[in-house]
Amino acid sequence: MRITHWIGGKAWTGLAQRTGDVYDPATGQVTGRVDFASAADVDEAVAAAAEAFTRWRHASLAQRANVMFAFRELLHKRRTELAEFITAEHGKVLSDAAGEIQRALESVEFACGIPQLLKGGFSENASTKVDVYSIQQPLGVVGVISPFNFPAMVPLWFVPNAIACGNTVVLKPSEKDPSAANFLAELFADAGLPDGVLNVVHGDKEAVDRLLEHRSVRAISFVGSTPVARYVYETGTRNGKRVQALGGAKNHMVVLPDADLDLAADAAVSAGFGSAGERCMAISVVVAVDPVGDELVNKISERIAGLRVGDGRRPGCVMGPLVTGAHRDKVRAYLDAGRSAGAKLVVDGRGHPVDGDHAGFWLGPTLFDHVGADMSIYTDEIFGPVLSVVRVPSYDAAVDLVNTNPYGNGTAIFTSDGGAARRYQNEVEVGMVGVNVPIPVPVSYYSFGGWKDSLFGDSHAYGPHGVHFYTRAKVVTSRWLDPADRGVNLGFPQNT
């Protein structure tokens, strides 16, 4: 199957010079070939978006809200179909794909409230017969660059707010699972979005680089790994663009001695191995505060043994394959690296039974204990089903470990002590904190973002930060003079 760009409201008909293979990770088979955009192809998409912007920026708030409501209904109606696309190219199990779409729907629902969100302030008589008011206007063409791990949700963190604010968009999704983006673009068209307001270009660095340098692109929303996020932020801002670039993660779950260890073990397994650990909010480090280590590791191991790994379309499977063979091999290499570094390999995922085609990109859930902060299994974002337990002697040592880590996306604390939880949320240098909640992804009317190397820029994604990011403020000072008030006055305007 050929997967191509969506430009100006229709599928692209050109001939791509470069293409990439798209796999079904559960069978290891190539199922599609995606066109890679050249710089000229990106220019075509940006031109379509720039042209559409001349009209879309004038679309009434009522019209924009109507499109969002219609899109929300279509997405809800066709969510099963979209989940199937996601599972077929990403590998996550169908129920997990459905969960991704449910969270995406929340972002769309937030954008349905755009008339309320764009209300400015009005000060009558700020000075005598002078009124002052603020308005928020769109930026123009916005580039959205998204990762493989949430092929529907991450684009929908950005696209609804961007277009509801009156911008037009060029979306460059991951080349590994590109079909969801086209599905969304067609759904937006069915919802009444005018041609050119949302465009999709597929590809790799070449397409991203062109978006980063194109003069007509005013802002970039990026989500991906930290080295690329840093590069996108530095290059985009150097070219005068507004940039928010969300990067990678190493999320710690601190378990205090007074925690309910069954609850903590359930949470560690769910958040560590859901989506095969390919979530930026996955728990990859459990910080066991003495003396809970032995008991907690036993409880986690018992639960791992019961996980059914296999083809995400088969009933009962809770964890699917990794996204590509290359990624699986990279993750698998950490098992030997961790053992050589001296960590204890408690559960070796290579031996886990699999309910799926032998050629799929499988690796079962893996657990390391006695992990040291200098080992690569701790310092690197593995982005796979590998959970590390680090043992520390005290709460203070736990906070120190988390705060010293360069990443700061999400974290969780498990405890029965409200005071300790409150102290943790205050002291920890991480953007999203869960108290007895392992994956604290904020609801859509808050915003999503990490600290430190997990986010470059000063705006978080979606929610109120999203509306702020996609608009620029204008303040109008207005006076309607009576004939008696006229006259030349060279003094600096005073408010009287």
Residues of this chain that interact with ligand NAD (CB under 6 A) are 145-150, 154, 172, 174-175, 204-205, 208, 223-225, 228, 231, 246-249, 280, 381, 383, 409, 450, 454
3-state SS class at 242: strand
Q: Could you tell me the smallest distance in angstroms from the CB atom of residue 156 to ligand NAD?
A: 13
C-alpha 272/C-alpha 438 separation (Å) is 9
* 140 Cβ contact list (under 8 Å, min separation 6): 50, 53, 167, 168, 216, 217, 218, 219
**Is 112 noted as a catalytic residue in this protein?**
no
Q: Which residue's CB atom is positioned nearest to ligand NAD?
A: 224
Q: Could you tell me the smallest distance in angstroms from the CB atom of residue 492 to ligand NAD?
A: 46
User: How open is the CA angle 156-64-82, to the nearest 5 degrees?
Assistant: 30
Among residues 112, 165, 280, 317, the one annotated as catalytic is 280
CB atoms within 10 A of CB 27: 18
Q: Which is nearer to ligand NAD, 166 or 457 (CB)?
A: 457
Q: Is 408 exposed, middle or buried (0-12, 13-18, 19+ CB in 10 A)?
A: buried
CA distances from 97 to 54, 467, 491 (A): 36, 26, 64
C-alpha 133/C-alpha 293 separation (Å) is 59
3-state SS class at 334: helix
Q: Could you tell me the smallest distance in angstroms from the CB atom of residue 137 to ligand NAD?
A: 27
Q: Which is nearer to ligand NAD, 133 or 451 (CB)?
A: 451
Q: Which is nearer to ligand NAD, 261 or 387 (CB)?
A: 387
Q: Could you tell me the smallest distance in angstroms from the CB atom of residue 296 to ligand NAD?
A: 25
* 33 Cβ contact list (under 8 Å, min separation 6): 1, 2, 3, 19, 20, 21, 22
Q: Which is nearer to ligand NAD, 20 or 364 (CB)?
A: 20
Q: Which is nearer to ligand NAD, 56 or 456 (CB)?
A: 456
Q: Could you tell me the smallest distance in angstroms from the CB atom of residue 114 to ligand NAD?
A: 23
Q: Which is nearer to ligand NAD, 139 or 331 (CB)?
A: 331
Q: What stretches of 364-417 show up as alpha helix (H) in DSSP?
A: 376-379, 395-404
- Bridge partners (DSSP) of residue 388 are 285, 368
Beta strands in 224-365 (DSSP E): 242-246, 251-255, 283-289, 309-310, 344-347, 354-355
CB atoms within 10 A of CB 332: 19
C-alpha 465/C-alpha 458 separation (Å) is 9
Q: Which is nearer to ligand NAD, 249 or 343 (CB)?
A: 249
In the block, tokens 């018992």 appear at 302
Question: Active-site residues: which are they?
Answer: 280
